Amino acid sequence: MALSKTKLREIVRSLNVTDHSDYCDFLALVFAAAKAEDPSYSYVRYSEDLGVGSANAQSIIVGRRKLTLKAAERLCEALTMTGVQKRYFLNLVEQKRAKSTTERDSIFDERLELKQRLLPTELDRKQLAFFEHWYHAAILEILRLEEARDDAAWLSHELSPTVPESKVEESLKLLTELGYLRRDDQRQRLYPTDVTITTGNEVIGLALVSYHRQMLKLAMDAIEGVAAEERDISALTLMATPELVAKFKDEVAGLRKRFLALAAAETHATEVVQLNMQLFPLKKKTKGDTP
């Protein structure tokens, strides 16, 4: 039996666009689910059902054609996407069409707020909030130092860049509610627990994106804002094959583990630093490239 428009809409609702960070991936997933229901379902049918012209769905999914906001509105109407789901989908379209970093940041912040509204539990919302601001993780690490104080004014002064006292107080409250901080009777202050910082499936994707965006911005500011002797910023541009890229990623993962082991073995730490490592392509994949 041919796939009905009603069934396609049911598929869209079941897949939750808010679980995705790229509308192309979401539309590809919808098509795959529709194809599984009806093997005869084609890109031509899909294009008609989406209201994007007779043969544009495949071009949109593979990124050859960007959705306009007007086309995205029609698509949402065709699939009866409403409320937060519609706003989130349009947000993904806006993100891909954004021209400036400022515009992209504003769009991302809205997506984060939309995601928070849909999270099923208060714990999920608090876990996402932990990754919403870089200083939550920094405060945790600072409080591991023996000379540290759980005083908001002291922490505000110690953080670099400085964070307002009121924000530090909110952070201490959040970290305590999440179980990441607990009163240590011997030290007579809040001290990090051994609870592993994790995020549920509802949170992890957007949470990690938020965290890395913030840390990359701090790294950019450090280029000019931190003395050269206090930082190490370097870069390499390399030729590679897909196999070599995989080896590079393994080496980076191994290096992270070695840094963690060194930090864990240190018993007289006095500083808290951030180490960012990125590996990304500077050449677009061409047809026939190994994925």
Domain membership flag for residue 87: yes
Flag whether the pTM goes above 0.75: no
d(CA 135, CA 141): 10
pLDDT given for residue 113 in this prediction: 87
Residue 92 domain-assigned (yes or no) = yes
- Does residue 117 belong to any structural domain of this protein? no
Question: Which pLDDT score, from 0 to 100, does residue 202 have?
Answer: 57
Rounded alpha-carbon distances, angstroms, from residue 3 to 29, 33, 35, 38: 16, 11, 9, 6
Residue type, 261: A
Residue 182, phi then psi, degrees to nearest 5: -150, 150
Residue 93: inside a domain? yes
Any domain includes 66: yes
For residue 182, what are the β-bridge partners? 191
What are the average pLDDT values for consecutive 10-residue runs of the chain, which has 291 residues? 89 90 94 94 93 84 90 94 94 92 89 84 85 93 95 96 96 95 95 78 73 90 91 93 95 94 92 92 70 43
pLDDT at 290: 46
- Which residue, among 31, 111, 23, 29, has the nearest Cα to 67 in the 3D structure? 23
**Domain range spanning residue 17?**
5-100
Domain count within the chain: 1
Taking the mean position of all CA atoms in its chain, how far away is CA 9?
27
Please report whether residue 181 resides in a domain.
no
In a domain, 34, yes or no: yes
CATH code: domain of residue 39: 1.10.260
Q: Assess if residue 69 is contained within a domain.
A: yes
